[in-house]
Amino acid sequence: MSMKRVLRSPVVLVAALLVSGCYSYAPIDSQAPAPTGRYVALRITDRGRVGLNERFGEGVRDISGRVLQQDGNDLVLSVDQVRNLEGETTRWAGEETRVNRDYVGFITERRFSAAKTSLIAAAAGAAIYVMAANGLIGGGQDVQNNDDPNAGKASSRMPLRPRLSHDIRVPLWRTWIR
């Protein structure tokens, strides 16, 4: 495993934890007015699965997106993703759609979580400290191999130069002048 790969995996893990740790979903009253401009997740009822089958596909369980407005009994959403009963997620590009509130079992709103963010940031800082202390980030010492008889000797071999197309010289000016 290369050093880049070793460093890349903790960095990706820490980044994923930071992104997921910053938010939590809190339930809101489904009969209260929709929080316009907020990111919400709608849990769809059985009746809603039947009513929304044509628009969102078979077995829709959750619809996530930003609330644009509430129009009567309909929520107007900019849909970000749809999850079905099997757990498969389909990403949407913010298409605007209406969802009847009778089709919604409950609504959760995405909120910033300072406690989770602080905990994840502290864990990330500790992980970076441990990697630096163990020399995983770089700046380590080169290990010399005393068993190699050629250790420390410079090579006198000339590297082979690859044959590229620009190495072939064709006098093109002769083709133009006649």
Q: Is 18 helix (H, G, I), strand (E, B) or coil?
A: helix
Q: How many CB atoms lie within 10 A of CB 156?
A: 5
Report which of 44, 38, 105 is spatially closest to residue 78, judged by C-alpha positions. Answer: 38
Report which of 92, 86, 80 is spatially closest to residue 42, judged by C-alpha positions. Answer: 80
Paired sense of beta strands 23-28 and 104-112, if any: antiparallel
Residue that wins the pLDDT comparison between 110 and 148: 110
What's the rounded mean pLDDT across residues 143-156?
61
Note the pLDDT tens digit of each residue in 7-56. Answer: 455 666 656 655 555 777 888 876 778 889 999 999 999 999 999 999 99
Q: Is residue 85 part of a domain?
A: yes
The pLDDT-based confidence of 128 (bands split at 50, 70, 90) is confident
Measured between its terminal Cα atoms, the distance across the chain in Å is 61
Joined together, the tokens standing for residue 110 give 């995405």
Residue that wins the pLDDT comparison between 21 and 132: 132
Q: Is residue 105 part of a domain?
A: yes
Q: Is residue 48 part of a domain?
A: yes
Q: What is the structure's pLDDT at 8?
A: 54
**Are 71 and 99 in contact, with CB atoms under 8 Å apart?**
no
Domain containing 86 — which CATH number? 2.30.30.100
Q: What is the structure's pLDDT at 118?
A: 80
Structural domain of residue 79, as residue ranges? Answer: 23-112
Give CA–CA dist 48/120, Å, rounded.
37
What's the rounded mean pLDDT across residues 148-161?
62
**Are 75 and 96 in contact, with CB atoms under 8 Å apart?**
no
Note the pLDDT tens digit of each residue in 56-96. Answer: 988 999 999 999 999 888 999 999 999 999 999 999 999 99
Joined together, the tokens standing for residue 143 give 């290990």
Q: Is residue 83 part of a domain?
A: yes
Largest separation between any pair of C-alpha atoms in the chain: 87
Q: Is residue 117 part of a domain?
A: no
What's the rounded mean pLDDT across residues 152-161?
62
The answer on pLDDT for 144 being more than 60 is no
- This prediction has a pTM of 0.57
What's the rounded mean pLDDT across residues 140-152?
58
Q: Is residue 50 part of a domain?
A: yes
User: Structural domain tally of the chain?
Assistant: 1
Give CA–CA dist 119/101, Å, rounded.
36
Q: Is residue 145 part of a domain?
A: no
